[in-house]
Structure 1
Amino acid sequence: MKKLSIKALEEKLSQLEELSDEQRKALEDDDRKGVHNLLKRWDQRQLKKRQMISRYKEMMRFENQLYEKGCQYIAGIDEAGRGPLAGPVVAAAVILKPKTALYGINDSKQLSKKKRQEFAAKIYEQAVSVGIGIVSAREIDSINIYQAAKLAMRKAVDSLNIVPDYLLIDAMTLPTNVPQSSIVKGDERSISIAAASIIAKEERDRIMAELDHIYPGYHFASHAGYGTKQHLAAIEALGPCPEHRLSFAPLQSK
């Protein structure tokens, strides 16, 4: 390998998942600094991959325990949009195939928008079923945000095209006969809940982008309804619109 140019070595290493003892020794014995840097970067990439696989296996712990008990259709459930001053709260229920590999997945809040979109596409491709539940700002004002989030989750489960065997829910319990577990920080600890977190966030962002066109001036697409300075300034200038949650401070005084 040491006879190859730096560029050719870089290309070759990018295609290798493992190095034989002979290949590694040849790289280590090469007197070119660029070769040593390539090997160092390759080792770092492999370490990152091992860490992602390890985390993935840990996040499959709840699902694997249920598969071993005979469950086939495990629905992860999470919501997005409890905190904003405007727009709906959106929940997702996701049933993944048992062998779905989503290395690097995490709670939607820990991922960049680009990564969320990439994972969302993979989830829709590989999921057995995906359900969405939406509860409007008016309903939130009527029944409070906690009950609205719970209602959105129930709607998400009801919209699945397969009846789940078990529900894994992020820090919530639902009034249903389906067996369930409430998992604190579930979007960081369960693959299924993390997947639901991503779908709920992406669906809500899509809705807020649509509302941005319906109610121009509030910049819903940029802040998704959260109480940013830009949003508060728009409310002060324009007053609330039909998508604002009037039960939330500071809108209660408007």
Structure 2
Amino acid sequence: MTKPYLLCGVDEAGRGPWAGPVCAGAVILHPDHPIAGLNDSKKLTEKKRLRLETEIQEKALAWGLGWASPEEIDQLNIRQATHLAMRRAIAAMKVSPDEIQIDGNDVPLDLPCRASAIIKGDGSVAEISAASILAKTARDRLMVELDETYPGYGFSGHKGYGVKLHAEALATLGPCPVHRMSFKPVALAAQRTA
């Protein structure tokens, strides 16, 4: 019996926000258990993402999540922290893929097999779509929890992104421990509220 070719899709959520970690997902889909409706997580409703999240976790051959904290983002820069989260997600799978395809145009170093970047891969490669869904649902869930820990910033609504409400809260409250101090709007707010 021939061993199936294991393609791992990788994507991240939370590269652009001012607060919270960046999360990466890695997924190897099961060849005998296809999942209908996979797409770029940003093109799906929250309800559909949550339904697909459960189905991916149940049917995938392997899946993993990797995180990089706001402190790691500040120490490394967002690009390197995203690469770190991706390596952690791949390592969390406990299955070695034959090939890795990553959404976007950037491939981390030190991956366990050959890897390539696919622009708009989250809408065209099922494994990357699945990874994007797992990363987004996990990160969104964490940002809702962080809203309870750090009230007043509106994390549950905007998930840490730089919207007007978030900018106003930063100006009033100053940054909290999960803000990315290396991001310019946060650094400026910290100076003003110091």
The TM-score with structure 2 as length reference comes to 0.91
Aligned residue pairs total 186
Tell me which of the two structures has the higher relative contact order, counting C-alpha pairs closer than 8 angstroms and 6 or more residues apart.
2
* 2:103 maps to 1:170: yes
Q: For 1:133-144, what aligned pairs fall within 5 Å after superposition?
A: 133-144=66-77
| Structure 2 SS opposite 1:216 | coil
- Distance apart, 1:145 and its partner CA: 0.5
Q: For 1:111-126, what aligned pairs fall within 5 Å after superposition?
A: 111-126=44-59
Report the residue type matching 1:93 in the other structure.
A
Separation (CA, whole Å) in 1 of partners of 2:3 and 2:119: 24
Separation (CA, whole Å) in 1 of partners of 2:32 and 2:102: 20
Unpaired stretches in structure 1, ≥5 consecutive residues? 1-68
- Say whether the 8 Å CA contact 1:71–1:166 is kept in structure 2: no
Separation (CA, whole Å) in 2 of partners of 1:129 and 1:70: 15
| Structure 1 SS opposite 2:101 | strand
Separation (CA, whole Å) in 2 of partners of 1:226 and 1:191: 26
Separation (CA, whole Å) in 1 of partners of 2:146 and 2:17: 14
* 2:37 maps to 1:104: yes
* 2:165 maps to 1:224: no
Unpaired stretches in structure 2, ≥5 consecutive residues? none
1:182 to 96, 110, 117: 117
- Distance apart, 1:245 and its partner CA: 0.7
- Alignment root-mean-square deviation, CA: 1.4
Partner of 2:9: 76
The TM-score with structure 1 as length reference comes to 0.70
Structure 1 runs of 4+ aligned residues shifted over 6 Å read none
Report the residue type matching 1:215 in the other structure.
Y
Kindly indicate which of the two structures has a greater share of residues assigned to helix: 1
* 2:169 maps to 1:234: yes
Separation (CA, whole Å) in 2 of partners of 1:99 and 1:169: 23
Q: For 1:49-64, what aligned pairs fall within 5 Å after superposition?
A: none
Partner of 1:17: none
Question: What per-residue deviation string (whole Å, max 9, x for no partner) do you get for residues 9-68 of structure 1?
Answer: xxxxxxxxxxxxxxxxxxxxxxxxxxxxxxxxxxxxxxxxxxxxxxxxxxxxxxxxxxxx
- Distance apart, 1:234 and its partner CA: 1.0
Report the residue type matching 1:229 in the other structure.
K
Which structure has the bigger radius of gyration? 1
Question: What per-residue deviation string (whole Å, max 9, x for no partner) do you get for residues 176-218 of structure 1?
Answer: 2412221111101100000000000001011111111111111
- Distance apart, 1:166 and its partner CA: 1.3
| Structure 2 SS opposite 1:167 | strand
| Structure 2 SS opposite 1:82 | coil
- Distance apart, 1:72 and its partner CA: 2.9
